[in-house]
């Protein structure tokens, strides 16, 4: 997945699981997967604990490369009275409702973008999943230090509207260009994504 050599103590973010937060490499060993050199890393993530990962499969990046908006949240002062005032700033509101690059990058194949889009339905507006989503969007290890749960629920609703619209458009384009690829992606979708597909009437 990456040709970079990671070293003990370096910080990383798993691009496929940004809700895990920033991780510190605790162990790095050379390995071979499918005949290709890679690394087997033990990483302690701030929100997911210790994970053993292979760089042949895990898309690991430096924190600043993975979540460019992290600095915006670090620099923007929290309101003492109501964090909701911060949500009126277009950059923060837009950031929270934006879809990640993996789902929108026009240089990626549509099938890959569709798979990344469907994977976003793993988040919901309830329980820990809402906090995982907020952490993935902002890079904050504890989003409740900046937002109330009600504010996060409102922002998640905006995100879900954008996600649904993006899924509809992407599925429509892929149906015209490669219907078998669309069928394979829809069949492989996880249960939450399957529910969204039925709700949206996508793939019919």
Q: How far apart are CA 7 and CA 149, in angstroms?
A: 37
Residue 203, pLDDT > 70, answer no
Domain extents for the chain?
A: 11-63, 69-200
pLDDT at 90: 47
SS3 of 104-120: the string is HCCCCCHHHHHHHHHHH
pLDDT at 4: 80
Q: How far apart are CA 155 and CA 190, in angstroms?
A: 23
Residue 173 three-state SS: helix
pLDDT at 38: 92
pLDDT at 167: 94
- Mean of pLDDT values over 184-192: 89
pLDDT at 2: 54
Residues with Cβ within 8 Å of 89's Cβ and at least 6 positions away in sequence, in order, are: 76
- Mean of pLDDT values over 118-145: 91
pLDDT at 68: 47
The larger pLDDT score, comparing residue 71 to residue 51, is at 51
Give the model confidence (pLDDT) of 33-47 as tens digits: 888 899 999 999 998
Give the model confidence (pLDDT) of 137-185 as tens digits: 888 888 888 889 999 999 999 999 999 999 999 999 988 998 898 888 8
Q: How far apart are CA 86 and CA 116, in angstroms?
A: 29
Pairing of strands 11-14, 23-33: antiparallel
For the domain made up of 11-63, the CATH class stated in words is mainly beta
Give the model confidence (pLDDT) of 5-20 as tens digits: 899 999 999 988 888 9
Directed axis angle between helix 179-188 and helix 110-119, to 10°? 20
Give the model confidence (pLDDT) of 61-113 as tens digits: 988 765 544 445 544 544 545 555 555 444 677 788 899 888 999 999 998 99
Residue with tokens 């009600």: 150
């Amino acid at each position: 997945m990456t040709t970079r050599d990671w070293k003990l103590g370096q910080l990383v973010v798993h691009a496929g699981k940004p809700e895990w937060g920033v991780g510190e490499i605790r162990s790095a060993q050379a390995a071979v997967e499918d005949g290709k050199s890679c690394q087997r890393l033990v990483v302690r993530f701030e929100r997911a604990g210790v994970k053993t990962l292979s760089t042949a499969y895990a898309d690991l990046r430096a924190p600043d490369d993975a979540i460019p908006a992290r600095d915006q949240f670090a620099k923007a002062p929290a309101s003492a009275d109501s964090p909701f005032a911060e949500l009126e700033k277009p950059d923060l509101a837009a950031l929270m409702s934006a879809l990640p690059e993996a789902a929108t990058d026009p240089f990626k194949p549509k099938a890959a973008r569709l798979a990344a889009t469907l994977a976003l339905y793993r988040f919901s507006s309830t329980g820990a999943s809402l906090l995982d989503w907020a952490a993935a969007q902002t890079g904050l290890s504890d989003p409740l230090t900046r937002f109330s749960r009600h504010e996060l629920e409102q922002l998640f609703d905006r995100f879900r509207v954008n996600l649904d619209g993006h899924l509809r458009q992407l599925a429509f384009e892929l149906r015209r260009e490669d219907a078998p690829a669309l069928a394979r992606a829809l069949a492989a979708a996880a249960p939450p994504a399957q529910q969204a597909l039925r709700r949206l009437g996508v793939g019919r």
